[in-house]
Structure 1
């Protein structure tokens, strides 16, 4: 357990704990609104931004963040264009993100090894700038959710009623998307773009099994995510395993245990 005292592991732990708050919190709103695939979409678009960052010599996470925010605007525009088939917007943007990323990979073969860290996570390489960015995003997300808790609750469970009551639903829909883009952009270096959606959705899936109210769900998603992040990092550190994959597999194990305990697997 000497690894716990090492600086790189402590940085990983701090970053993981912060993401363990924001990612499942935003994921809960997405899952309850049946928009969980947005996480995957923004993660793939972010990777295209990361690749461009390496290609141009600009801080990759910052470029990935710009791309994710751009994708958020595009998704909202397409959702308005295809009101009856709103999920098409997610599929279109995801396809574009994957295509652009593959194009940028082919243009900069020399940085493919570096980009792979963002695909599968490289939490042990977090530096001061990464932690500062993660901390800023955490503060923004917590402030937004705390200030607009009632509005987000109403929007999540009955958007039509929220609109009738005069709530600016477009503004809050966009706010949720932007906050999600921020969280995903700073999360991909921790668990990787291919696994980030698990941190968004699996804690929410766990809360649907055991939580009896929205407030309980908020607490549950954060507690489960933190257990998985801290436990996954410790297991990965001791056994020399991939930390991102270990965290996600631990989340899945927790979900399976909860489902089994509730008899959800019974015939």
Structure 2
């Protein structure tokens, strides 16, 4: 989570503790204004945004928020699931069999093309997807253009193969893992901006990533691979959608699960290490 603080550089300069020119003060004020604006904008989601400073269990149908320095999303259209979260990025999703769709997990409230995501999966008893998952949204583009809103998946484990419904893009290697890309379209389906028509971008590895090992996803490699085929992600740091910010999380998704199950792991910012 980004924390926004107004620095008192001008006061410090007045007391001779630092040297500060008028241009520097103006630049710092401008940067503070931008940060303050971003902090207030996220409050538009206060109806269901929560903040936890210790471990929590989420069971609502639709909940977003922050746990420590991580953002989380938890969404379902029915059924019974729970998302257990810790402040260090550890998570556990438990679900019951039934006819519904669920997606949730921890990460960040905005996408960053330069982010390197570290993760480890400990359990997976049959999730439809375990995936880096997020959105991009450009409200200035026509809503009739599916490219104005993009839902993206970088699959790591799966029981359902999305490539059977998608258009192939290219095959590339990132961090020693071979991926193939696909694009599909969703027409008037749930999204971060209400029912919309939008694109889905997929990166699917040749082999599923094993449990019990540390892995990483170099997100910039996937952004470039999609762009090489003309598939561009719109703004990934946008609070102007109606239902959610353009988050980026390590998500567990299940749809119409035949059986009860669980998936667990941990996510972290590998670029910061």
Asked whether the two chains share a fold, i.e. TM above 0.5, the reply is: no
Structure number having the greater strand percentage: 2
TM-score normalised according to structure 1 size: 0.27
Structure number having the greater helix percentage: 1
TM-score normalised according to structure 2 size: 0.26
Larger Rg: 2
Where relative contact order (Cα < 8 A, 6+ residues apart) is larger, the structure is 1
